Structure 1
Amino acid sequence: MTALVAIDQGTTSTRTIVFARDGGSLGSHQVELPQHYPQSGWVEHDAAEIWQHTQRCLRAAIADAGMTAADITAIGITNQRETTVVWDRASGQPIHRAIVWQDRRTSGWCAERADRSDWLAARTGLLLDPYFSATKIAWILDHVDGARARAEAGELAFGTIDSWLIWNLTGGRVHVTDATNACRTALFNLDTQDWDDELLEFFGVPRALLPTVCDSASEFGVTADGVLDHPVPIRGVAGDQQAATIGQACFQPGMVKSTYGTGCFMVLNTGSERVASQNRLLTTVAYRLNGQPTFALEGSIFVAGAAVQWLRDAVHLIQNAGETERLAASVDSTNGVYLVPAFTGLGAPYWDPEARGAILGLTRDSGIAHIVRAALESVGYQTRDLMNAMREDALMPVELRVDGGMVVNDWLTQCLADVLQLPVVRPRVVETTALGAAFLAGLQSGVYASLDEIAEQWAEDRRFTPALAADRADGLYNGWLAAVARVKTAASATTQTA
């Protein structure tokens, strides 16, 4: 029996799933990951804790499947992207907490160099923003005593979470990444498909820090003694959103998926063509196989599921995420309430790191249900922001494939169809991020002969079609645009008076 293990290391949890060849889950285990907020706008993780959780999940999932490591064909890894770890090559210990993709501490540095944005986009497809890894690396080197000199001497290593896990899984023998993660650092040239010396100089990152860049399906090493009870090869790696694109079988140009987890990320396959966005979307590598990249346009929303976590953990309007579906359905509308969840700034297409969250339109009649519904609706409105930008840059998809933990909520998924005025399709396996990593490992292992064979494993669970009149959807969306404009105005005023 074929068994493929996917390590899915996300922003708020670490999970491992054992998949059968057809994509069915055979066993799994998940551990929540604590968040650290040293200052306003700063977000950190304990990288050593991530490695501990990964080991625990890996062993527990295999046991849950009733298997041993000897039964596993290969491991695939998918990970939160951009999150930055720098560690000592000799000891294997991080020299600072991991700086998470949501972190905004380098926004001032980016703002001072805004005139280089077009230059950066031409090489990387990215914007000059704290979101990406390069400024996070430089910050660590400049704020940890002796780090820059040690990095230049080759004593330190940088990696996104995939590299960090591969290093530990292989006992420190392998320092690599894949093209989908490399292209999110702002140090990787999309045309040459390699690290770029001019970018390294601009950001002040020594080349000696960097991992080797591999295809997404490749030989990434074998687990070291003591990790599992039998060595297992690592054969697939992709950043979480690219892995979800593969798990959703979006292999043809024009196919698009949107993943709803902590944030929301929409990826449109553009094939071999690198499309330069005119609407502040990102050009990225969807996957690279046999040395050939497939490109995509991507829109990133920083807060989706994190808004529900905020409702639960910060303001205590709900006790668990499952309550949101009932509460949203309990009222006919938000009565004009809009929640703009700019807790760590606004992502695409606004890219405003100084914006902060707000609830607008509150009246004496507003209640918990209205605010909860507004939080869910904000996910739909932000998705429409991205879809509009993609339509202007490339083409309008005929449907949107959705996945991630949030889309088990039928109310939210119907809301997406209504706001977008587009069919929204939920697959049989909603955890397509992990599935995509397993598919890549299976492709490298010969379990699947081609992408077409992987696509045959994808199956539709339910299709949601618009039930809201187009003019009503447009009116609600216009209200959202007005709310965002007010948030941006407030952010601008705050910055000017600071």
Structure 2
Amino acid sequence: MRTILALDQGTTSSRAIAFDLNGRVVALAQREFGQHFPQPGWVEHDAAEIWRTQLAVAQECIQKLTLAPVQTAVGAAEIVAIGITNQRETTVLWDRATGRPVAPAIVWQDRRASARCDELRRAGQAAMIQRKTGLVLDAYFSATKLEWLLDNVPGARARAEAGELAFGTIDSWLIWNLTGGPQGGVHVTDASNASRTLLMNIHTLDWDDELLRLFSIPRALLPRVVPSSGVVAEASARLLGAHIPIAGIAGDQQAATFGQACFAPGMAKNTYGTGCFMLMNTGDRPVASRNRLLSTVGWQGPELAGAQRTAYCLEGSVFMAGATVQWLRDGLQIIDQSSDVEALAASVPDTDDVFLVPAFTGLGAPDWDASARGTLVGLTRGTTRAHIARAALEAIALQSADMFGAMSRDARLPLTELRVDGGASRNNLLMQMQADLLGVPVVRPQVTETTALGAAYLAGLATGVWAGGDAITAQWAVDQRFEPHLTEPARLARIARWREAVQRSGGWAQAR
């Protein structure tokens, strides 16, 4: 039985998942790693620990395949290819000669470069940056993190200019180590990850000289940009027991979109995790957002329509999704565990006009109000914890409906359904609310490991396992389809009422 090994390197854990050629999970291993918060607003990872945990779970997963029943046992030599997907924007700077990071990795959540972004914004650079990269100017992305490392690690800038150091997002770091590290490691990234750095021009699909000068980044630091689907190197047999082609690379949200088989323009997915990430395929050209969404590379290289092409996506993010339910559990303590929220919310027929705006850390797309704060409105003496629980679930669906509407307006494409994944997608009440508030069906697949599956599909396309998008689409199967029940007037009225609540949350932190 041949398999594909997906390495899924996330923000809090490293995972390895083996898929058979029907897209089914046959082995899985996972290890958490440390989170470091040295100062308020700073978030760091130990890149060496990330590599150790990722290698360990890859080896553990291969061991599980080897120990499977005889008729299904797989050795490392039977693994067709490796696909890699990763937390995006997190920045690693390392010594090419020793393979050691010169500083902790700066995580995508880190805000230390916010003042630098403000400085560039005042200098009038934001419009140029967005035009070239499709991104808003924000410390979320890699460029200002890398600039900070070069300016604050002793000797780093001079060593970078001399070609002694290497920069990469997590995909680059893993591939470099998998292919030999200081002994000939391959230094690459794919277009989806490169598009999250503020350094790549998404129109030319290459590093941009004007952006490199703006952020004072030496070109010698940068990895080579390669397609998301294509053999770029072989993992070392010394590490994994066989020379296995590395053939798929994509950032986590793009990989999930691919794993959901959103191959046609207008197809969209939403991942319900701590926050929500919604991506919509906009075809072979980037769409400039008028609603403060991000335009990003989805993937590059797989043969989905008879020829290699680049797919672009619009992306929006909600900061508080599953984290809102965690607040009900840990903050208000009205549920014992997160899974209790569905039954509690279902015990009342509606919220009785109660709205929760979970702007605990501000609002994401499309409002982007950093000074908004959490707001609970419409309370009466009849309000119960069940109404608040239902309002919390509805808030997740309403925020996603705001993003969905912004995407529809930006792309001018008819959105006919939303494919969903992530932990909270298993909440049937939430998914029904989502369908009602979008006015289109919400579809949950049978395989919900869509991020790792997307990386596996990209690798399999490059190695001939699947002939094209049709073969992958044929494997995608529905677990449950949620049809909208609200009438259009009722849906629009509910959204309008929600927008009133959002307005009341706005600017609160500035009013002190």
2:179 match: 170
The reply on whether 1:340 has 2:361 as its aligned counterpart is no
Aligned residues of 2:373 and 2:507 also touching (Cα < 8 A) = no
What amino acid sits opposite 2:415 in the alignment? Answer: P
- Per the alignment, do residues 319 and 154 of structure 1 end up closer, same or farther by CA in structure 2, a change over 3 Å counting? farther
1:4-30 deviation line (CA, Å, top 9, x unaligned): 111111223322211111111111122
2:454 match: 436
What amino acid sits opposite 2:278 in the alignment? Answer: M
The reply on whether 1:247 has 2:265 as its aligned counterpart is no
1:81 match: 88
Aligned-pair CA distance for 1:216: 0.4
What amino acid sits opposite 2:298 in the alignment? Answer: A
The reply on whether 1:325 has 2:342 as its aligned counterpart is yes
2:431 match: 413
Aligned residues of 2:371 and 2:508 also touching (Cα < 8 A) = no
1:261-297 deviation line (CA, Å, top 9, x unaligned): 2332211112122221111111111111176312221
- Per the alignment, do residues 62 and 200 of structure 1 end up closer, same or farther by CA in structure 2, a change over 3 Å counting? same
2:471 match: 453
Moved more, 229-238 or 439-448: 229-238
Query: Aligned with 2:176: secondary structure?
Result: helix
Aligned-pair CA distance for 1:191: 1.6
Aligned residues of 1:268 and 1:297 also touching (Cα < 8 A) = yes
1:22 match: 22
The reply on whether 1:483 has 2:490 as its aligned counterpart is no
Aligned-pair CA distance for 1:320: 3.4
Q: Structure 2 CA distance, aligned partners of 1:184 and 1:374?
A: 33
2:8 match: 8
Query: Aligned with 1:220: secondary structure?
Result: strand
What amino acid sits opposite 1:11 in the alignment? Answer: T
Aligned-pair CA distance for 1:208: 1.8
Query: Aligned with 2:365: secondary structure?
Result: coil
Aligned-pair CA distance for 1:441: 0.6
Q: For 1:92-491, what aligned pairs fall within 5 Å after superposition?
A: 92-114=99-121, 115-172=124-181, 173-289=185-301, 292-312=309-329, 317-361=334-378, 366=383, 368-394=385-411, 395-491=413-509
What amino acid sits opposite 1:24 in the alignment? Answer: R
Aligned-pair CA distance for 1:492: 3.3
1:331-384 deviation line (CA, Å, top 9, x unaligned): 333444444334444322223345454545556665544444333222211111
Aligned residues of 1:302 and 1:347 also touching (Cα < 8 A) = yes
Aligned residues of 1:41 and 1:344 also touching (Cα < 8 A) = no
Query: Aligned with 2:128: secondary structure?
Result: helix
Query: Aligned with 2:311: secondary structure?
Result: strand
Q: For 1:40-51, what aligned pairs fall within 5 Å after superposition?
A: 40-51=40-51
Aligned residues of 1:8 and 1:16 also touching (Cα < 8 A) = yes
State which structure, 1 or 2, has the greater radius of gyration over its C-alpha atoms: 2
Q: Structure 1 CA distance, aligned partners of 2:508 and 2:236?
A: 53
What amino acid sits opposite 2:404 in the alignment? Answer: M
Aligned-pair CA distance for 1:444: 0.8
Moved more, 394-403 or 363-372: 363-372
Gaps spanning 5+ residues in structure 2: where? 69-73, 303-307
Aligned residues of 2:297 and 2:313 also touching (Cα < 8 A) = yes
- Per the alignment, do residues 101 and 340 of structure 1 end up closer, same or farther by CA in structure 2, a change over 3 Å counting? farther
Query: Aligned with 1:219: secondary structure?
Result: strand
2:71 match: none
Q: Structure 2 CA distance, aligned partners of 1:320 and 1:38?
A: 30
1:171-209 deviation line (CA, Å, top 9, x unaligned): 211111100000111100012110001101112222222
Aligned residues of 1:15 and 1:57 also touching (Cα < 8 A) = yes
Aligned-pair CA distance for 1:445: 0.8
Aligned-pair CA distance for 1:89: 2.0
- Per the alignment, do residues 169 and 421 of structure 1 end up closer, same or farther by CA in structure 2, a change over 3 Å counting? same
Aligned-pair CA distance for 1:51: 1.7
Q: Structure 1 CA distance, aligned partners of 2:135 and 2:15?
A: 29
Q: Structure 1 CA distance, aligned partners of 2:356 and 2:215?
A: 36
Aligned residues of 1:87 and 1:158 also touching (Cα < 8 A) = yes
Aligned-pair CA distance for 1:143: 2.7
Aligned residues of 1:12 and 1:262 also touching (Cα < 8 A) = no
Query: Aligned with 1:95: secondary structure?
Result: coil
- Per the alignment, do residues 46 and 367 of structure 1 end up closer, same or farther by CA in structure 2, a change over 3 Å counting? farther
Aligned-pair CA distance for 1:319: 4.3
Q: Structure 2 CA distance, aligned partners of 1:493 and 1:112?
A: 24
Taking structure 1 as the reference length, the TM-score comes to 0.92
1:493 match: 511
Taking structure 2 as the reference length, the TM-score comes to 0.90
Gaps spanning 5+ residues in structure 1: where? none
Moved more, 28-37 or 296-305: 28-37
Query: Aligned with 1:208: secondary structure?
Result: helix
- Per the alignment, do residues 483 and 42 of structure 1 end up closer, same or farther by CA in structure 2, a change over 3 Å counting? farther
- Per the alignment, do residues 204 and 419 of structure 1 end up closer, same or farther by CA in structure 2, a change over 3 Å counting? same
Identity of aligned residues (%): 57
Aligned residues of 1:104 and 1:344 also touching (Cα < 8 A) = no
Q: Structure 2 CA distance, aligned partners of 1:250 and 1:372?
A: 32
Q: Structure 1 CA distance, aligned partners of 2:193 and 2:437?
A: 31
Aligned residues of 1:82 and 1:101 also touching (Cα < 8 A) = yes
Aligned residues of 2:445 and 2:480 also touching (Cα < 8 A) = yes
What amino acid sits opposite 1:222 in the alignment? Answer: E
Aligned residues of 1:102 and 1:302 also touching (Cα < 8 A) = no
1:241-268 deviation line (CA, Å, top 9, x unaligned): 1111111111111111112223322111
Moved more, 45-54 or 478-487: 478-487
Aligned residues of 1:301 and 1:348 also touching (Cα < 8 A) = yes
Q: Structure 2 CA distance, aligned partners of 1:141 and 1:242?
A: 29
Q: Structure 1 CA distance, aligned partners of 2:372 and 2:153?
A: 29
- Per the alignment, do residues 168 and 478 of structure 1 end up closer, same or farther by CA in structure 2, a change over 3 Å counting? same
Aligned-pair CA distance for 1:484: 2.8
Q: Structure 1 CA distance, aligned partners of 2:349 and 2:34?
A: 36
What amino acid sits opposite 1:4 in the alignment? Answer: I
Q: Structure 1 CA distance, aligned partners of 2:199 and 2:176?
A: 20
Q: Structure 2 CA distance, aligned partners of 1:396 and 1:446?
A: 33
Q: Structure 2 CA distance, aligned partners of 1:324 and 1:185?
A: 37
- Per the alignment, do residues 337 and 236 of structure 1 end up closer, same or farther by CA in structure 2, a change over 3 Å counting? same
Q: Structure 2 CA distance, aligned partners of 1:356 and 1:350?
A: 12
- Per the alignment, do residues 287 and 306 of structure 1 end up closer, same or farther by CA in structure 2, a change over 3 Å counting? same
Query: Aligned with 2:234: secondary structure?
Result: coil
